[in-house]
Amino acid sequence: MGKQLGQDDIDALFAAAGANASAQPAGADGDVPVEKYSFSSAGQISNDQMRAISSVNDLFARNLMHTLGAWLRSQFKVKLVAGEQLPFNEFLERISPPTYVCSIRLEPLGAVGLLEFDMAIAAPMVDVLLGGIGRAWATRELTEIEESILTSVVQMAVEELNLAWQSVGLGFVFEKRETEAAVARMLTLSEKTLCVSFEARMPEAQGTINLCLPAVVLNAILRRLISEGDRPRRRSREAQIRVRELMGEARVGAALQFPAMRLRASELATLAPGTIVRLPLSRHEASELRIGGLQFGRAYPVRSGEHRGAQLEEQIDEHVLEMNAGVPVELAQPQMTS
DSSP character at residue 168: G
Q: Check residue 286 and give its pLDDT.
A: 82
Bridge partners, 154 (sequence order): none
Is residue 321 pLDDT above 90, yes or no?
no
Share of the chain above pLDDT 90, in %: 28
Highest average pLDDT, of 8-17, 23-32, 253-262, comes from: 253-262
| pLDDT over 80 (residue 28) | no
What's phi and psi for 74, nearest 5 deg? -150, 155
Pairing outcome for strands 287-291 and 171-177: unpaired
DSSP assignment letter at 107: E
Least Cα distance to 212 among 190, 185, 187 occurs for 187
Q: Is the pLDDT of residue 88 over 50?
A: yes
Q: Where are the domains of the chain?
A: 47-233, 253-260+279-338
Closest to 213 (Cα-Cα) out of 122, 116, 306: 116
Give the residue, 172 or 290, on which the prediction is more confident. 172
The predicted pLDDT at position 255 comes to 84
Per-residue pLDDT at 99 exceeds 80: yes
> Is it the case that residue 16 has pLDDT exceeding 80?
no
**CA atoms of 240 and 227, how far apart (whole Å):** 24
- Asked whether the beta carbons of 101 and 116 are under 8 A apart, the reply is yes
CB neighbours of 156 closer than 8 A, spacing ≥ 6?
64, 67, 68, 71
pLDDT computed for residue 245 by the predictor: 82
* Model confidence at 234: pLDDT above 60: no
> Residue type at 178?
E
Q: Determine the average pLDDT of the residues in 241-265.
A: 82
| Order of strands, sheet of 111-117, starting from the edge strand that comes earlier in the sequence | 77-87, 192-202, 205-214, 111-117, 100-107, 171-177
Q: pLDDT value at position 233?
A: 53
For residue 114, the model assigns a pLDDT of 95
pLDDT, tens digit (0-9, with 9 covering 90-100), for 106-146: 988 888 999 999 999 999 999 999 988 888 878 888 899 99
pLDDT of 328 strictly over 50: no
Does the pLDDT at position 332 exceed 50? no
Say yes or no: domain 253-260+279-338 is CATH 1.20.140. no
Residue 105 CB partners (closer than 8 Å, separation 6+): 111, 112, 113, 172, 173, 175
Range with the lowest mean pLDDT among 36-40, 148-152, 241-245? Answer: 36-40
Q: What is the DSSP letter of 32?
A: P
pLDDT digit string, tens, across residues 283-317: 777 888 888 778 788 888 888 888 878 888 878 76
Greater model confidence, 70 or 322: 70
| Cβ atoms of residues 205 and 124 within 8 Å | yes
E strands, 76-204, in order: 77-87, 100-107, 111-117, 171-177, 192-202
Q: Strand locations in 156-191, DSSP E?
A: 171-177
**Superfamily grouping for domain 47-233:** CheC-like (3.40.1550.10)
Tell me the C-alpha distance between 64 and 157, whole Å: 6
How far apart, in whole angstroms, are the C-alpha atoms of residue 157 and residue 60?
9
pLDDT in tens, 199-229: 999 998 999 999 998 887 776 666 666 665 5
Between residues 19 and 159, which one has the greater pLDDT? 159
For the segment 37-66, the average pLDDT, to the nearest whole number, is 74
The whole-chain average pLDDT of the chain stands at 79
Instruction: Answer whether residue 335 shows pLDDT above 90.
Output: no
* For residue 101, pLDDT beyond 80: yes
Are 129 and 149 within 8 A, CB to CB? Answer: yes
Reply yes or no on whether the pLDDT at 338 is more than 80.
no
| Contact predicate 54/157, CB 8 Å | no
| Range in 48-52, 158-162, 222-226, 324-328 the model is least confident about | 324-328
